[in-house]
Amino acid sequence: MSKQYFVGIELEEKDDRLFSLVKRQFNAKGNLISPAHISLTPSFEFFDEKELIERLKNWASKENGFEVKFEKVGRFVQPKYGTVFMYPEKTEIIKKLQNSLINNLKEIEQIGEFVPHLTLAQRVDLDKVDKIKNEIEMMGLKLNLKVNKIVLYKKEKSWEKFEEFFLL
């Protein structure tokens, strides 16, 4: 039986506390069901958990760590709701990691241009998306992130940290 997963970058504890508070402030509906993280992949299904872990472990052992800054706030909208997120100033290094990861896991369905991001508000009513985006921009949030590991998240009842993989 397949399970659902996604791969992301875990925030340091101090950043996790701050961004978890921001997420709670802008998600009154209580629908953010994952720890604060930088999403590298959309969710995907995988049948063989041991194979997935082994592939990620081998992949991570060949990838270099790096630092990245998140300062920009963006938004995207779907037919019924919108999402507000932070994304990196310079995307080249994180996109390189993401592309390498997705090439290693061909099972991840490409959904067009997937931007590595930190979700701050999701399932926002369409008429409130720009207001929330502006409020978050006014907060002047910045995230300096040293990326030395990635995390595999698994969906049980909610999304939970499942395995970590350290980069070079």
Residue 90 pLDDT > 80: no
> Closest by alpha carbon to 80, among 137, 39, 35, 129?
129
Q: Mind listing the domains of the chain with CATH numbers?
A: 3-166 (3.90.1140.10)
> Closest by alpha carbon to 23, among 14, 9, 34?
34
Higher pLDDT, 63 or 121: 63
Tens digit of pLDDT for each residue in 29-81? 555 567 788 989 888 888 899 999 999 999 999 999 999 999 999 998 888 88
- What was the pLDDT predicted at 114? 76
CB 151 within 8 A of CB 161: yes
Could you tell me the two tokens for 40?
Answer: 């590298």
